[in-house]
Amino acid sequence: MNEPSKHHRPIRSFVKREGKLTTGQKNAIEQLWPTHGIELKAEPLELAAEFGRDAPVVLEIGFGNGLSLADMAEAYPDLNFFGVEVHRPGVGSLLVQVKQRGLQNVRVSQDDAVQVLEQQIPDASLHRVQIFFPDPWHKKRHHKRRLIQPDFVTMLVKKLAPGGHIHVATDWENYAEHILGVLSQNADLCNTSSDPSGYAPKPEYRPDTKYEKRGIRLGHGVWDLVFEK
């Protein structure tokens, strides 16, 4: 994932990797995008109008295949879930789940999360921002591409409602240490963990993702970080 830059490079939250759509994913996009998709526009969204109700909004950045997001939307029907994922097969996969489960509390964007945050998410409007297993860019020369950087976190904090949370999970210890440092240095955030390590117990609402299961198979630990505004 590429990172916010102060100067000439455009800010992006991803590196484009595209794959082919299955027939089911293609059909789900064609059928559900008019009701569940959100196009990028240079004006703030009326989130209550987009969801057809006023409820706390959880923004997930980079939802992958969408299975864990669908699980959360099904388990927590009183929350609105806004998923942002640039990879079209992932969008299609989530919409397949939305269709199969009849989920009405999910909306989807296929645009860059930084643009969505800057242009569409109203300030102080989000109940939670969750980023599960972002690309760790484990080679040192690529660390500047990591998503969680001070400027990006400042943007997230601006969009959180008072008492809102940023929740990041990773299976790379070095990235966990980096994320902990970045979140801890933001004066508007407070670590919810009382553990001396700074890492939080896995919240009940977060399902096991395929990336977490993969990491465990590879012998990696999993680190959750939950900070409150």
Q: Which of 135, 188, 195, 208 is catalytic?
A: 135
**In 3D, which of 165, 135, 23, 182 has the Cα closest to residue 89?**
23
Lookup: tokens for 217: 């198979």
User: Which residues belong to the annotated binding site?
Assistant: 60, 85, 112, 135, 139, 171, 209-212
208 is catalytic: no
The C-alpha atoms of residue 225 and residue 201 are separated, in whole angstroms, by 8
- Alpha carbon separation from 206 to 11, 20, 52, 72, 225 (Å, rounded): 28, 28, 25, 7, 12
- Determine the Cα–Cα distance for residues 222 and 169; give it in Å rounded to an integer: 7
Q: Which residues are annotated as a binding site for substrate?
A: 139, 171, 209-212
**127 vs 162: CA distance, rounded Å:** 8
Pairing of strands 160-170, 223-228: antiparallel
List residues with catalytic annotation. 135
